[in-house]
Amino acid sequence: MSVENAPVVDVDEAAIPVEKKMYYRFESNDKKEFRVSELAIQQSETLNRLVEAMGYTSEDVENKPAIAIENIDGKTLKLVFQWCEHHKGEAIPVDDGSVPKIVEIPEFDAKLMDIDNGLLFKLIWAADYLNIVQLLNVSCKKVANMAQGKTPAQLRRVYLLPSDEEDEAAKRAAQEAQDPRAREVEEEFEERKRQGGNSFF
């Protein structure tokens, strides 16, 4: 079932309240509606706090309007909730620095994130906004993996970064703005260029 042709999307079949499971309704900024199980919502610190504060009963969920998430579109939100349903009940990593941050991308996540870069960056932004720690971890890891072993030119293509020429224009604009720091950085940049970029780094 695709988001585009269905007004209400059950991200996870198991979330349908046959067993009287508690779930919530959310609405994206393009008016797509999602039903998400309570357990899945716990993956998002932001949404979890929100629903706790609202204290809805099952009747409230049906009778009151869906909770609006105003700055995330339906396409992105679908991915977010699919991820949350798949990983519901899993422990949320605590970033207290006590464990080394080695992030593996599970197969499900890899498939979920097999999307274009624009959508991937939206997903990252949403994971950060909704405070879904592990989704933020794996999505940032995916972006990081794209960089591995590349040259600057390859990276510009991967990440759609400005070319040298475009950069030059930005540099001129920065200098015109009389930002002393920008000029300092430029001079160093130019100096390294003059030295022939003779470091691998």
Partner 1 sequence: MEADNPTLLQMPEVIMGHILDKLDLPDILILRKTCHHLRNLIDDLHPDPKIARSVIIVDTDFIEFKMNLDKDYDWYPEGKLLRIKYSDVVKPKNGSEACKVQWFRSDRSREKFVEGLSFIAHFCRDFEFIFGAQSPFEFSQNPRNPSRIQDFILNLEYFPPDHFIWEAITHQLLPSLESTLKNRPRPLPVKEFYTTVYEKSHVFQILPCFEPKTLEKISISHRPYIPERVTWELDEFSELEQWKIAKVLWVFDVSLAATVQEFKDFEEINVKLGEVKVEEVLELKETILNSTSNLTTGKIEFYTCDGEQHFLQTYGYPFTDIDMFGDDRRCWFFKIPNKKFILQISFYRMYLRFALVENPPKNAMVQ
How near is the Cβ of 198 to partner 1 at its closest, in Å? Answer: 4
**Of 30 and 60, which CB lies nearer to partner 1 in the complex structure?**
30
d(CA 90, CA 114): 22
How near is the Cβ of 84 to partner 1 at its closest, in Å? Answer: 18
**Of 7 and 100, which CB lies nearer to partner 1 in the complex structure?**
100
d(CA 102, CA 75): 29
**Of 14 and 103, which CB lies nearer to partner 1 in the complex structure?**
103
Tell me how far apart the 2 most distant CA atoms of the chain are, in Å: 70
d(CA 184, CA 95): 36
Q: Which residues bind partner 1 (CB under 8 A)?
A: 71-73, 76, 96-99, 101, 103, 117-118, 121-122, 124-126, 128, 136-137, 140-141, 143-144, 147-152, 155-156, 159-162, 167, 170-171, 174, 182, 185-186, 189, 196, 198-201
**Of 56 and 125, which CB lies nearer to partner 1 in the complex structure?**
125
Task: Count other C-beta atoms under 10 Å from residue 139's C-beta.
Answer: 27
How near is the Cβ of 141 to partner 1 at its closest, in Å? Answer: 5
**107 contact partners, CB below 8 Å, separation of at least 6:** none
**Of 20 and 101, which CB lies nearer to partner 1 in the complex structure?**
101
Mark residue 69 as left, alpha or beta (left: phi above 0; alpha: psi -120 to 50; beta: remaining). Answer: beta
d(CA 132, CA 126): 8
How near is the Cβ of 171 to partner 1 at its closest, in Å? Answer: 6
For 187, the token pair is: 């001079």
